[in-house]
């Protein structure tokens, strides 16, 4: 299968996976542990409450990964990624963008807006820009800005999810796009990663599977709820941020609300993500449709080891099945 990922990235991966950036969940520890385990670690810049904290995080990630590189030159250490909201209401945009210039993360994932200014800067230092999109219209628009990758956010993703079936989305995007393609939405196991590969996707975007990581910022209650929840516990609603997202009904009840009687919230103002909206995300917890496959709290390294085992197993089964077919 032809590799669109540049060799300096592909060669450092043990699995074609990005641990997706999750609001209030992804921590610098998760990023470092993911990269050490051989998958791309990422976090939303807004997870750092202030620009100073963000500066510390980026410095730490850069230095720790560099020192692992030095100590173990033969070890696969995956690149790290940050997620930047490029919407005009993100009041931290300028400050956060300056830190991207300073620390030069190898991959920048943009959300909710025009990635063009980011593309120019990141390409200058040799990094890649991925843009997350959940409609064909936005995919075409982003493709024209010169981004390197499109993250197709399909139905069943945690957080702000789209509604398109992955088979349909990948198929249509392939007609006009030959850059890096990343698939997001309900990918939870090694088997799912292999399925994404057979669709011709370059990277699988896994979020929910990493929420119960020991290194994540998610609370113990949140992790326990994930382990106890199934598909039936999810609701897709715009009641909390004005944009449709998948949430856990038990967390809505826990916050004293009735999941069946939610009022629509006016469109979100992303500058408030740190204040008002964070309250919603802090008490009302998100998960993707892969939630039923979450069984335990474990370190990132262990999750990646499990995913590798599942992937290899699925690959073996796939090879046997295809031999029987032909």
**What is the share, in percent, of the chain residues with pLDDT greater than 70?**
94
**pLDDT for the residue numbered 2:** 43
DSSP string covering 67-125: HHHHH-TTS----EEEEEE-STT-TTHHHHHHHHHHH--SEEEEESS--HHHHHHHHHT
Q: Does some domain include residue 126?
A: yes
Rounded-to-integer distance, Cα 76 and Cα 197, Å: 20
Q: What is the reported pLDDT for 280?
A: 66
Q: pLDDT tens digits, residue range 97-116?
A: 999 999 999 999 999 889 99
Q: Regarding predicted confidence, which is higher, 306 or 279?
A: 306
Q: Which residues have C-beta within 8 Å of that of residue 43, sequence separation ≥ 6?
A: 21, 22, 26, 27, 28, 30, 31, 57, 82, 83
Alpha-carbon distance of 98 to 95, in angstroms, equals 5
Asked whether 143 and 177 are in contact (CB, 8 A), the reply is yes
Whether residue 199 lies inside any domain: the answer is yes
**What would the mean pLDDT of 84-98 be, rounded to a whole number?**
93
Residue 123 lies in a domain: yes
Work out the average pLDDT over 262-278. Answer: 58
The token duo for 27 is 């921590």
Residue 85 belongs to a domain: yes
Task: Establish if 233 belongs to a structural domain.
Answer: no
What does pTM read for this prediction? 0.94
Instruction: Compute the distance between CA of residue 74 and CA of residue 87 in angstroms, rounded to an integer.
Output: 40
Sign of CA pseudo-dihedral 258, 263, 267, 268: negative
Check residue 272 and give its pLDDT.
Answer: 52
pLDDT digits (tens, 9 = 90+) for 190-240: 999 999 999 999 999 999 999 999 999 999 999 999 999 999 999 999 888
Number of domains making up the chain = 1
The answer to the question of residue 122 being in a domain is yes
Domain with residue 96: its CATH number is 3.20.20.70
| Burial zone of 72 (CB within 10 Å; 0-12 exposed, 13-18 middle, 19+ buried) | exposed
Sorting pLDDT into bands at 50, 70 and 90, what band is 242? confident
Lowest mean pLDDT among 120-129, 196-205, 221-230, 266-275: 266-275
257 part of a folded domain:
no
Dihedral sign for Cα 191, 43, 91, 107, please.
negative
Percent of the chain whose predicted confidence (pLDDT) is above 90: 83
Tokens 């990269």 correspond to 35
Residue 56 lies in a domain: yes
Domain carrying residue 94: 7-218+290-325
């Amino acid at each position: 299968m032809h590799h669109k990922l540049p060799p300096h990235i592909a060669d450092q991966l043990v699995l074609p996976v990005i641990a997706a950036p999750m609001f209030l969940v992804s921590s610098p520890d998760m990023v470092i542990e993911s990269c050490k385990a051989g998958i791309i670690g990422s976090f939303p810049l807004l997870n750092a409450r202030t620009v100073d904290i963000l500066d510390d995080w980026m410095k730490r990630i850069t230095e720790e990964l560099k020192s692992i590189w030095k100590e173990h030159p033969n070890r696969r250490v995956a690149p790290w990624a940050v997620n930047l909201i490029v919407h005009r209401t993100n009041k931290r945009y300028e400050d956060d963008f300056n830190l991207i210039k300073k620390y030069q993360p190898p991959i920048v994932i943009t959300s909710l807006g025009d990635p063009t200014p980011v593309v120019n800067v990141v390409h200058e230092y040799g990094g890649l820009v991925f843009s997350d999109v959940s409609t064909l219209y936005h995919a075409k628009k982003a493709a024209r800005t010169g981004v390197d990758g499109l993250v197709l956010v399909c139905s069943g993703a945690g957080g702000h999810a789209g509604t398109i079936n992955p088979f349909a989305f990948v198929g249509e995007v392939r007609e006009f796009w030959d850059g890096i393609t990343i698939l997001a939405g309900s990918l939870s196991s090694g088997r799912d990663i292999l399925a994404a590969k057979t669709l011709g996707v370059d990277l699988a975007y896994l979020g929910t599977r990493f929420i119960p990581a020991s290194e994540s910022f998610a609370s113990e209650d949140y992790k326990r709820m994930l382990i106890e929840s199934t598909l039936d516990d999810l609701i897709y609603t715009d009641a909390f941020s004005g944009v449709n997202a998948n949430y856990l009904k038990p967390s809505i009840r826990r916050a004293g609300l009735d999941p069946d009687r939610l009022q629509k919230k006016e469109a979100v103002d992303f500058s408030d993500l740190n204040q008002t909206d964070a309250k919603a995300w802090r008490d009302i917890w998100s998960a993707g449709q892969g939630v039923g496959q979450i069984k335990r709290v474990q370190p990132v390294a262990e999750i990646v080891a499990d995913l590798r085992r599942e992937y290899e197993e699925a690959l073996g089964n796939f090879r046997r099945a295809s031999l029987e077919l032909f």
